[in-house]
Structure 1
Amino acid sequence: MITYFIKSGICLALLLLFYHLILEREKMHQFNRFYLLGSVLFSFIAPFYKIYIETIPNTLKAVPSLITDSNLDVNPVKEISYTQYLFLGYTIVAIILLIRFTKNLFNIFLKIKQYKKIKKDKATLVLVDDLISPHTFWNYIFINKEEYNSNKIETELYTHELTHALQKHTFDILFIEFLQIIFWINPTFIFLKKAIKLNHEFLADNKVITTHKNTTEYQYLLLNRAAWNNEYYLASNLNYLLTKKRLLMMTKQSSRTKILLKKLAVIPVIAGFTFLFAERVEAETTKKHVLSTETSKDSIPSSVTVYKKSINHEDVEITYHDEKGNKITKKISELTEIEKGQLPPPPSPTSRIVIKGEALNIPPPPPHSYEVIREEETSNIPPPSINAIEYIYQNKNADFYFDDKKLSYNEVIKLIKNKKGLRTLIQAKNNKKIIKFYSKKVTKNTNNINTSDIKYYLDGKLISKEKLHKIAPKDIRKVDVKKNKDGTGLVYVTSNK
């Protein structure tokens, strides 16, 4: 949101700069009025526009890991945030400005109600006792009562104020005042309000000159009235910014061709700022398979990633799962270049690659009793562990699922505390982690094994179960789990080294 306000503020500032450098100097005041108001709306809309950029997708790698309750109970450390205090201060200033704005409106309506009113030329004259110069608010023209009764109000001044009333210039001022209350921290609105008010005076002056056709006399009239007081903050009045700019504009001659070219110049400016401040969204044009490797606390799958090698290299078969969980088996010769790039690396060179049909050279298990894993019983073969709550806290922006049902961060913390023996799958998709939990039990297996007969290999070297537990999941690239016909098991771990 902060980025949006920064973009919007810079966009409005650049549009206002373009107005002062190019548009303000020409006699196209009606066009300039809508340009200034439109600049505000455009600066709010432009950052919402999206430009889709095609990118080359990166290969998605899944991290093999198991989420399990551990010994530590990590309490998230609460960081001190000053956002709430800044927002509170911002709101207080906005409320103060709103009170001032409301007070000014109340004073004007009080004057309207207090003094005599006369309907004239689609406007309402308010005859006040104060010695003030004529000024306008909405459809009301405030005039000194004594001057009106003695017919001392010049027709040029009345035409000037009537133009403010008929063209609804008060709407522009109230609109900018309201936005300035909300976005008071943006100084651009101060300069924008001045530009809008000065443009209103250009419009009213142009109407007077067109109607009465006496420029010099009108200029002297403005100079004589310059010292008169105006106590109404939100009203339009002829004394506003009586500067050299305003006097010179009355006698300026503008070329129609030059005016047309400057109006057309707005089109590329708007197009360029749309492209400059639009939101960039990366879009992938090709759907990618998500390759994942999982380890389970409850069961030993027959294989996670399978490499079947024949004498001919092109006949090597690769088995993997796509993002929907479908098992796919293809020969390397049948894979596309994109699919080849997505495959995980093969086992470590020190690991033995089993050729299809070749018997494993594994020594038979020792002839002692087996601990049988029966139906509905969970396996106690623990893969490398990591504290569950700590891991979830570190990845609290991930998407969580339990048996394909999406969970919130608080729900997944509660799940981990209440359920044991969860099967976990961690994926990465579109640069975001997806963590899935399953409660599936080990299926019935008559060829059950004893957990003591499982051998663990790290990069082709035999290791103990205790050493396996000390390996951090982030250091593991791939885990292959195999079962032999005689019931023994092998766990091959390939590190990131």
Structure 2
Amino acid sequence: MESIFVYIAKSAGLVTLFYCAYYFLLRKETFFTSNRWFLLTGLITSVILPFVVYTKVVWINPAPIPNLNFSDTNLVQNIENKTFEINWLYVMLSVYCIGLLVFLTKFAMDFYSLNSVLKGKKVHQQADFKFIDTNENIAPFSYFEYIVYNSSMYTPAELENIIEHEKVHSDQNHTVDVLISRAFCMLFWFNPVIWLYKKAITQNLEFIADKEAAKKLSDKKAYQYTLLKITTHESCVAITNHFYQSLIKKRIVMLNKNQSKRRNSWKYYVVIPALGAFVLLFQAEVVAKEKQQAVKEVSGEIESVDVYRIKKNSTDAELKEIKEKLKSIHNVDFEVSDVKRNAENNLTSIKVAIKNGTQLAQSIQTAGDHTIKDFGVIVITDKKGKKNVGIQTSDEANISKIAVSKKISSLNAAKNDNCKTNADSKTVVSKKLTTKIDTNVNDNTNTSTKTNSNANTNISTTVTIDTDNKINTKVITTTNGSVIAISNETKAANKVLESLVIVDGKEMPRSFDVNDIDTKKIESVSVYKGVEAIAKYGEKGANGVIEIETRD
């Protein structure tokens, strides 16, 4: 729902931009026809441009994450402490809908009034025009091919001036402009600029009709007197091009004004850089993606690397085939669930669970209305026949090619059924396998080095299996602003390694337990490991560093 208000705000901003350009640069120019198309272009642009979005990908280096323990009791406690809050988005949407309904009702009433004027009247057809001579005391007006007037109220000369004026409106389809501007006033009724914009459109249409009608009339002064006489009529139909307009003085001034110099047409192009700035500032979608570290030399202990790719267009039969191969070749259990597809039968959601003995790997992709990103199931077999499984979800274009060790590259896949490498997938292979799960992912990007409490709720889990040090690390992070529990213990080789904890820039003692911090007060969490931690904090950061910023 928030995106609706963002769209409305952007559209209103574009309308304001075009109106300011017209008011300050073009309003006094006599390029009336060009002004007409400029104003219409402004309305069309304000509808279309907010939908135009270009994606800018920012690649960041991957960073390890320390251990975080998520307490279910904290979650229950936070849910219980929630109080009733007014959803102001729904309130604003309700106000907007009420306003829209009012103006739609007003438009329906105006249309009914117009229909009552036209219905049942005698129509005189002449060329492409339909003339209606009415007895009602209303100002002359045109509505598409209809031209309505009361002949008893004017002299023949005045009536000729009026009809020539309305013919221009009818011939150039000015009614379309009036209806479009009226529609925008209904949709963006809350924006005061749109009402000024509508007034500018109708006024410019009168300038066009006055200019073209004066060319066909022999007495230009008599035409101006007719304008003054029509000002006495106060009754007019709202959704039509009516001869009477309140700013008669401006019409007479523009009618007698000399033609603007052609070199002044540069003013129309001033809006182009402003539109470019709008796109750069508001229509750029920055996507952060984690770089995949390529391994240029794989240890000679690796016997084979098997990759089974799951694509957005993978069928149920192909998924079943992958399951059978993993079971028959590697004795790996492969289960697929939560499968959703779009109209093109492409995957928009999938959950994959892999089990290899006690080793578990899982991937969840939910892309909403979009298709998922391709990913692969990796099975690495060492010389002793031990198998490690993992899931690779990186983009192919940003993974360096693997230079496998001579022992592997010399293997002949045709002679060895246990060595299968899918040419369609570029896979990063090492002794450490990392599987990432994200339960709320649209772009399949897994970056979780910093948690901000103002972000939307997004729970992600990272499971790391290290075959050398026998370290099993489970990371669960929630960014809803209130549920964050952290543990700074890392168990390795039956030893307890405590990470350095920095709270609001102050170093905490080794005995400090971060679980003592009220999770509601945590603003952000940054974590560092390895070289990065040592470079920032020296030897004290050898076991990793946790930086915590609180709201206080």
Fold-level match, TM-score > 0.5? yes
Gaps of 5+ in 1: 291-297, 302-320, 331-342, 344-390, 404-421, 434-450, 461-465, 481-491
Aligned to 1:287: 291
1:147 CA displacement: 5.1
1:397 and 2:465 are equivalent in the alignment: no
| 3-state SS of 2:133 partner | strand
CA distance in structure 2 between the aligned counterparts of 1:118 and 1:239, rounded to whole angstroms: 23
Give the number of the structure whose alpha-carbon radius of gyration is greater: 1
The reply on whether 1:170 has 2:230 as its aligned counterpart is no
Provide Cα deviations, 1:412-457, integer angstroms capped at 9, x if missing partner: xxxxxxxxxx9844489xx999xxxxxxxxxxxxxxxxx9x95645
The whole-number CA distance in structure 1 between the counterparts of 2:201 and 2:393 is 62
Residue 34 of structure 1: CA displacement? 0.9
Distance 1:300 1:455, change over 3 A: farther
Return the TM-score normalized by structure 1: 0.59
Q: Which residue pairs with 2:31 in the alignment?
A: 28
Partners of 1:63 and 1:426 within 8 A in 2: no
Change (3 A) 1:423 1:70: farther
> 1:132 Cα shift?
2.8
Question: How far does residue 64 in structure 1 lie from its aligned partner after superposition?
Answer: 1.6
Cα distance in structure 2, aligned partners of 1:21 and 1:289 = 55
Partner SS, residue 16 of structure 1? helix
**1:225 corresponds to which residue?**
230
Picking from 179, 184, 190, the partner of 1:179 is: 184
The match for 2:546 is 496
Are residues 60 and 279 of structure 1, via their aligned partners in 2, closer, same or farther at CA, if it must alter by over 3 Å?
Answer: farther
Give the structure with the larger strand fraction.
2
Alignment of 1:64 with 2:67, yes or no, is yes
Choose from 244, 249, 253 the match for 1:248. 253
Once the 2 structures are TM-superposed, how far is the Cα of residue 108 of structure 1 from its aligned partner? 0.7
Q: Tell me how far apart the structure 1 counterparts of residues 6 and 27 of structure 2 sit (CA, whole Å).
A: 30
Alignment-derived partner of residue 107 in structure 2: 101
1:268 to 1:124, Cα distance in 2 relative to 1, 3 A: same
Contact 2:56 2:287 in 1 (8 A): yes
User: Match of 1:136?
Assistant: 142
Q: What is the identity, as a one-letter code, of the residue corresponding to 1:23?
A: L
Aligned residues: 354
Partners of 2:136 and 2:284 in 1: CA distance: 58
Q: Which amino acid aligns with 1:106?
A: Y
**Does the residue aligned with 2:247 lie in a helix, a strand or coil?**
coil
Shift of 1:118: 1.6
AA matched with 1:138: F
Cα deviation 1:186-238 (Å, max 9, x = unaligned): 11110011000001101110111111143222112211222123331112122
| C-alpha RMSD of matched pairs (Å) | 4.7
Structure 2's unaligned 5+ residue stretches are 295-356, 361-388, 395-401, 405-431, 433-450, 464-471, 482-490, 501-510, 531-541, 548-552
Tell me the alpha carbon deviations over residues 437-489 of structure 1, each in whole angstroms, 9 at most, x when there is no partner. Answer: xxxxxxxxxxxxxx9x95645469xxxxx998967899996999xxxxxxxxx
Task: Name the counterpart of 2:21.
Answer: 18
Structure 2 distance, partners of 1:455, 1:268, is 62
Q: Return the alpha-carbon distance in structure 2 between the equivalents of residues 250 and 467 of structure 1.
A: 83
C-alpha distance in structure 1 between counterparts of 2:45 and 2:454, whole Å: 40
Give the 3-state SS of the residue equivalent to 1:110 in structure 2: helix
Alignment of 1:26-425 (within 5 A): 26-50=29-53, 57=60, 60-67=63-70, 69-70=72-73, 73-74=76-77, 76=79, 77-78=82-83, 79-144=85-150, 146=152, 151=156, 154-275=159-280, 278-282=282-286, 287-289=291-293, 324=392, 397-398=457-458, 400=460, 424-425=474-475
CA distance in 1, matches of 2:39, 2:176: 13
Q: Deviations 1:135-183 (Å, cap 9, x if unpaired)?
A: 11222111115458x8575211101011111111111111111121121
Aligned-pair identity (%)? 22
**Equivalent pair of 2:165/2:210 in contact (CA under 8 Å):** yes
- How many angstroms does 1:95 deviate by? 0.6
Tell me, in whole angstroms, the C-alpha distance in 2 between the residues paired with 1:216 and 1:469. Answer: 88
Would you say the 8 A contact 2:67–2:474 is kept in 1?
no
TM-score w.r.t. length of structure 2: 0.54
Q: Match of 2:458, as an amino acid?
A: A
- The Cα of 1:110 is off from its aligned counterpart by 1.6
Q: Secondary structure at the match of 1:45?
A: helix
Relative contact order (C-alpha < 8 Å, sep 6+): which is higher? 1
Give the structure 2 partner of residue 365 of structure 1: none
SS at the partner of 1:114? coil
SS in 1 for 2:165: helix
Q: State the one-letter code of the partner of 1:279.
A: Q
